Amino acid sequence: MSDSRAVPPTAVDRKAVAAAGVTVVLWASAFVSIRSAGEHFAPGALALGRMFAGSVVLAVLLVIRREGLPPRAAWRGILVSGVLWFGLYMAVLNWGERKVDAGTAAMVVNVGPIAVALLAGWLLKEGFAPRLLAGIAVSFAGALVVGVSMSDGGGAPLLGVGLCVLAALSYAAGVVGQKPALRHASALQVTAYGCFIGTLCCLPFAGQLIEQAADAPLSSTLNVVYLGVFPTALGFTTWAYALARTTAGRMGSTTYAVPAVVVLLAWLFLREVPGPLTFVGGALCLAGVAVSRGGARRSIVRAQPITAPEPRSTV
């Protein structure tokens, strides 16, 4: 049942932008943590550890908020996002980033928002707004510049490139699958049950995770927990909240801001000083997001976006 409270379109827009901003910062911080945790955890083990930590937090939130099972109509989208995004994407991306340099991975994975816009325009009938397409083009150019500036100049193994492409497509399909589920369930429900499904998909790596966790330093284990609690449990919930209030294509384009924030965080926490070309690419990423989100208020007024339903009692 939809929330019947009247919410001014401009207020909804501000909330969606704020939620998307939280997601961008948290997802960017994940790259810093993955660099540390990835030294001691294999891709599959890291994915399972992250999903399990996120599932524990989300399960507690479901109990506190007294939200039960999502309605039947939401399950197809939750299953798609759970298997493809929370499961396949997490493991494949971790694997792919071990095969290619950071610059190549950034360039290839940033095919994802383009695929989101194309799939959403086709399958979700969102259309292909000129501002959105222009913003995607500008941001993708910025991602290419960041990728080139970060690349070590070596040749990228074909397997690594293929894995990054698979990760990008899995992410895109997961977003497009998640969007319809938000018509019937809350952002917390869609995120939590998608994370539970992703955890189940990663269970074959349980033995590896237990073995590597016993040998890993505490800092790496804490990084895995951080990845599950903040970029996953909180970041994916704020993502779903924002996605319910705007189009999948526009939300996908927002993630182009992630490389720019990663550069800033790496500068602050890893003492990696970016070169001028990296700054130019980051600025282009942010400019493209601004272009793609231009006219968001008009589209919200016109489209009457999905409003998250009230929490469902477990009683």
Instruction: State residue 55's pLDDT score.
Output: 98
Closest CA to 192 of 10, 70, 96: 70
Domains of the chain by residue range: 10-303
Q: What pLDDT score does 224 carry?
A: 96
Distance between CA 189 and CA 309 in Å, rounded? 10
- CA dist 13 → 129, 136, 162, 244, 293 (Å): 18, 20, 37, 11, 10
Tell the burial category of 174 from Cβ atoms under 10 Å away from its Cβ (0-12, 13-18, 19+).
buried
Q: Compute the distance between CA of residue 48 and CA of residue 54 in angstroms, rounded to an integer.
A: 10
Closest CA to 86 of 233, 279, 241: 233
Assigned token pair, 42: 């294999």
- Find, among 241, 246, 257, the residue nearest to 289 by Cα: 257
Q: Global pTM?
A: 0.78
Beta carbons of 112 and 176 less than 8 angstroms apart: no
In tens, the pLDDT along 253-294 reads 777 677 677 767 767 776 666 667 767 776 777 787 777 766
Distance separating alpha carbons of residues 175 and 251, to the nearest angstrom: 9
The structure tokens listed for 292 are: 């793609």
The CA-based dihedral angle spanning residues 84, 184, 130, 112, taken in that order and rounded to the nearest 10 degrees = -10
Q: What are the start-end ranges of the H helices in 202-295?
A: 206-215, 218-227, 235-243, 248-254, 257-269, 276-292
Enumerate helices (H) and strands (E) in the chain, giving the number of each. 16, 0
Residue 54's SS3 state is helix
Q: How many Å apart are CA 158 and CA 83, to the nearest integer?
A: 25
* Inter-residue contact 170 to 55 (CB < 8 Å): no
Q: Give residue for tokens 């660099």.
A: 35
**How far is CA 85 from its chain centroid?**
8
* pLDDT less than 70: residues of the chain: 1-13, 100-108, 146-147, 149-157, 256, 259, 263, 266, 270-275, 278, 282, 293-315
- Say whether 182 sits in a helix, a strand or coil: coil
Compute the distance between CA of residue 157 and CA of residue 38 in angstroms, rounded to an integer. Answer: 19
